[in-house]
């Protein structure tokens, strides 16, 4: 293209024997020059009529198709041919002839308007050649890169398929393993449960005995206290000194009331006091202590496992921060607690409630627990591994299911992200995933669309990507983004715009769309296209 003029001159030089300046009506391309023969009647190119040659380019439109005025603006539908030696030849609408605006780089369109045009064809030609060359280079290199990408994608694809197959095999094994371990766990848990129950029961019995013992001691103490005259009997009057035992809460313990408490007797001895004690023990205030400490209640029925000590949980923050795998984490923590259980029992503060704390398991029971715990751990670990395996398989299968182009050349974009910073925003394109926009100076991210589909023209749908269903616009549609792919050596977002409200356009270069360069280079002899 770039050297047509030169070339044509050459052709003519050859055919006519001598180099000639090609003359003829203004604005006629060489291909049509034959129809404009000086001093011979001109027939409009649509054949509609024939006019004298002096009416060609006479600034009056005679032909309906505009062909009689290739060099003037007279015809509304005419076109003017500029040779643009050194650059590309082109046609412009004849309405641009002599309109005061330079359209042809060789200035030929402004021959009578007074517009000061400069011939810029050489410069443009040079620039265009540079651009073309660059483009060719880019295409060339891009295409090479693309081949690598295709290779890699192929390899990756195969690897992944093999991996998936392997994993599925492994998964089967894991499935079995989990089942086996579940049985082991359940088998180990049965004796553990029994041993624990035994231990607990024993402890409960022991606790009851201790409580009884204590009560007796208290009663004896109370008897001695009540027996003011130390005669070995507690009398009604002695009991009356303990106003707190007042049944009707009128502040005084009457004789009758006291007698009532004592089962009608005037006085009781130590052994008979045993039957009185249950009537008064709840209200009785020891004389030695101003206030009886809170009555010792039977410890609640709940089983006090020595492990429960959440307050001292050492890693609470880790627990909260990791949200994604909550279940797994929790279980891990739980196990850790179990491991730490024994030391917590020995904390010093227990002294007072010595009797409330369950004594450590005996060796046999502990052994059973340890065994069960191990079985549990093993089972859960296996189950977790199975879940992870499942996730991995799913991810790879998802990846394999994407349309990464005819030769999978877009595979490499998967799980990558590319950013472009403009005056106000940072745009982020994560191919096959989503497009987003974030204000440069703080502010929350806006979703400009998630992966929808390839949406290029029918003959090559891989030139456009469509991302849809982004954040809704106020009183408008959901945001969406079209990504236009062009050939480039590098994979970069080159520009973004918002041609319509909430409809974004992103330009993206990648080697993956580079076409095989035409098998020719730019040497002029390849450009005969007459």
Partner 1 sequence: MQGPEVLLSLNSRGLLAFEHLRLHKDTQAQPDGAEVKESVDGDQQQDEGEKGEDGESDKEEVGLWEETFKSHTDTKPNGPTSISLDFSLPGVEHVYGIPEHADDLKLKTTDGGDPYRLYNLDVFQYELYNPMALYGSIPVMLAHNTQRTMGIFWLNAAETWVDISSNTTGKTVFGKMLDFVQGSSENPQTDVRWISESGIIDVFIMLGPKPSDVFSQYASLTGTQSFPPLASLGYHQCRWNYNDQEDVKSVDQGFDQHDIPYDFIWLDIEHADGKRYFTWDPHKFPQPKEMLQGLMDKKRKMVAIVDPHIRVDSGYKIHNEITSKDFYVKNKDGRNYEGWCWPGNSGYPDFTKPEMRAWWASMFAYDQYEGSMENLFTWNDMNEPSVFNGPEVTMHKDALHGKWEHRDIHNIYGLYVQMATAEGQTRRSGGVERPFVLTRAFFAGSQRYGAVWTGDNAAEWDHLKISIPMCLSLGLVGVSFCGADVGGFFKNPSTELLVRWYQTGAYQPFFRAHAHLDTTRREPWLFGPENTALIREVIRQRYALLPYWYQLLYQAHKTGMPVMRPLWVDYPKDTATFTIDDEFLIGRDLLVHPVTEEGSRGVTAYLPGAGEVWYDVHTFQKHNGAQNLYIPVTLSSIPVFQRGGSIIPRKDRVRRSSTCMENDPYTLYVALSPKKFAEGELYIDDGHSFNYDTKKEFIHRSLTFANNALTSNNLCPNCNFLTSSWIEKVLILGASKPSKVLLKMDGKETPVDFEFDTSMSVLTLRKPGMNAGADWTLLLQ
Binding site for partner 1 (CB under 8 A): 58-60, 73-74, 76, 93, 95-96, 99-101, 422-424, 473, 475-476, 497-503
Instruction: Report yes or no: 140 and 146 within 8 Å, Cβ to Cβ.
Output: no
Q: Select 100 or 406, whichever has its Cβ closest to partner 1.
A: 100
User: How many Cα atoms within 13 Å fall on the side-chain side of residue 111?
Assistant: 11
Q: Select 77 or 433, whichever has its Cβ closest to partner 1.
A: 77
Instruction: Give the DSSP H or E segment for 375.
Output: helix 363-401
CA distance 460 to 496: 22
At its nearest, how many Å lie between partner 1 and the CB of residue 61? Answer: 9
- Cα distances (Å, whole numbers) of residue 448 to 414, 475, 495, 500, 503: 18, 16, 15, 13, 8
At its nearest, how many Å lie between partner 1 and the CB of residue 62? Answer: 8
At its nearest, how many Å lie between partner 1 and the CB of residue 163? Answer: 45
- Cα distances (Å, whole numbers) of residue 6 to 10, 86, 530: 6, 8, 13
Spell out the residues 6+ positions from residue 530 whose beta carbon is closer than 8 angstroms to its own: 8, 11, 30, 31
DSSP state of 426: E
DSSP 110-177: -SSS-------HHHHHHHHHHHHHHHHHHHHHHHHHHHHHHHHHHHHHHHHHHHHHHHHHHHHHHHHH
Q: Select 457 or 499, whichever has its Cβ closest to partner 1.
A: 499
At its nearest, how many Å lie between partner 1 and the CB of residue 464? Answer: 16
At its nearest, how many Å lie between partner 1 and the CB of residue 94? Answer: 9
Q: Select 312 or 475, whichever has its Cβ closest to partner 1.
A: 475
At its nearest, how many Å lie between partner 1 and the CB of residue 446? Answer: 16
Q: Select 165 or 497, whichever has its Cβ closest to partner 1.
A: 497
Residue 399 main-chain phi, psi, to 5 deg:
-60, -45
Strand partners, 248: none
DSSP state of 467: E
CA distance 443 to 358: 56
By CB neighbour count within 10 A (0-12 exposed, 13-18 middle, 19+ buried), where does 307 fall?
A: middle
At its nearest, how many Å lie between partner 1 and the CB of residue 38? Answer: 21
Radius of gyration over alpha carbons of the chain, in Å?
Answer: 50
Q: Select 101 or 518, whichever has its Cβ closest to partner 1.
A: 101
Instruction: Tell me which residue of 505, 510, 515 sits closest to 413, measured CA to CA.
Output: 510
At its nearest, how many Å lie between partner 1 and the CB of residue 452? Answer: 18
Q: Select 326 or 498, whichever has its Cβ closest to partner 1.
A: 498
Q: Select 61 or 236, whichever has its Cβ closest to partner 1.
A: 61
Instruction: Determine the angle formed by the axes of helices 326-345 and 363-401, rounding to 10 degrees.
Output: 160
At its nearest, how many Å lie between partner 1 and the CB of residue 147? Answer: 35
At its nearest, how many Å lie between partner 1 and the CB of residue 139? Answer: 25
Which H, E and C letters describe 286-354, residue by residue?
CCCCCCCCCCCCCCCCCCCCCCCCHHHCCCHHHHHHCCCCHHHHHHHHHHHHHHHHHHHHCCHHHHHHC
Start-to-end CA span in the chain (Å): 10
Q: Select 327 or 474, whichever has its Cβ closest to partner 1.
A: 474
At its nearest, how many Å lie between partner 1 and the CB of residue 500? Answer: 5
Q: Select 77 or 147, whichever has its Cβ closest to partner 1.
A: 77
Q: Select 19 or 476, whichever has its Cβ closest to partner 1.
A: 476
Pairing of strands 503-510, 480-487: parallel
At its nearest, how many Å lie between partner 1 and the CB of residue 83? Answer: 21
CA distance 212 to 228: 25
Q: Select 113 or 433, whichever has its Cβ closest to partner 1.
A: 113
Q: Select 182 or 484, whichever has its Cβ closest to partner 1.
A: 484
DSSP state of 185: H
At its nearest, how many Å lie between partner 1 and the CB of residue 476? Answer: 5
């Amino acid at each position: 293209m770039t050297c047509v003029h030169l070339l044509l001159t050459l052709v003519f030089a050859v055919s006519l024997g001598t180099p000639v300046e090609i003359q003829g009506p203004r604005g006629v391309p060489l291909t049509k020059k034959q129809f404009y023969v000086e001093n011979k009647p001109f027939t409009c190119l649509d054949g509609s009529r024939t006019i004298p040659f002096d009416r060609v380019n006479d600034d009056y439109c005679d032909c309906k198709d505009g062909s009689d005025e290739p060099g003037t603006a007279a015809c509304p539908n005419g076109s003017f041919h500029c040779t643009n030696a050194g650059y590309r030849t082109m046609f412009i609408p004849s309405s641009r002839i002599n309109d005061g605006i330079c359209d042809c780089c060789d200035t030929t369109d402004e021959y009578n308007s007074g517009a000061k045009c400069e011939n810029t064809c050489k410069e443009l030609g040079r620039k265009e050649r540079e651009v073309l060359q660059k483009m060719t280079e880019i295409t060339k290199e891009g295409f090479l890169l693309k081949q690598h990408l295709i290779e890699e994608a192929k390899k990756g694809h195969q690897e992944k398929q093999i991996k998936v197959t392997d994993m599925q095999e492994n998964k089967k094994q894991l499935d079995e393993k989990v089942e086996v371990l579940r049985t082991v766990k359940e088998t180990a848990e049965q004796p553990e449960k029994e041993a624990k129950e035994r231990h607990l029961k024993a402890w409960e019995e022991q606790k009851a005995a201790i409580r009884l013992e204590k009560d007796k001691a208290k009663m004896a103490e109370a008897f001695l206290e009540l027996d003011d005259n130390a005669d070995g009997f507690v009398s009604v009057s002695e009991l009356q000194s303990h106003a707190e035992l007042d049944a009707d809460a009128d502040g005084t313990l009457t004789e009758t009331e006291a007698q009532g408490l004592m089962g009608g007797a005037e006085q009781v001895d130590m052994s008979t006091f045993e039957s009185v004690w249950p009537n008064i023990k709840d209200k009785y205030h020891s004389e030695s202590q101003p206030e009886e400490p809170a009555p010792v209640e039977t410890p609640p029925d709940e089983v006090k496992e020595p492990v429960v000590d959440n307050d001292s949980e050492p890693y609470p923050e880790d627990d909260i921060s990791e949200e994604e795998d909550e279940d797994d984490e929790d279980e891990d923590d739980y196990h850790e607690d179990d491991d730490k259980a024994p030391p917590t029992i020995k904390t010093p503060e227990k002294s007072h409630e010595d009797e409330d704390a369950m004594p450590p398991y005996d060796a046999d029971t502990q052994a059973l627990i340890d065994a069960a715990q191990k079985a549990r751990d093993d089972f859960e670990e296996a189950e977790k591994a199975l879940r992870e395996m499942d996730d991995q398989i799913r991810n790879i299968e998802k990846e394999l299911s994407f349309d990464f182009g005819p030769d999978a050349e877009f595979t490499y974009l998967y799980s990558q992200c590319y950013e472009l910073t403009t005056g106000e925003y940072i745009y982020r394109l994560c191919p096959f995933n989503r497009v987003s926009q974030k204000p440069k100076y703080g502010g929350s991210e806006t979703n400009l669309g998630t992966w929808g589909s390839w949406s290029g023209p029918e003959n090559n749908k891989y030139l456009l990507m469509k991302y849809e269903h982004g954040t809704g616009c106020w009183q408008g549609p959901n945001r969406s983004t079209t990504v236009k792919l062009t050939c480039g050596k590098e994979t970069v977002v080159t520009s973004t715009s918002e041609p319509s409200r909430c409809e974004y356009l992103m330009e993206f270069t990648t080697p993956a769309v580079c076409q095989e360069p035409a098998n020719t280079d730019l040497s002029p002899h390849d450009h005969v296209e007459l």
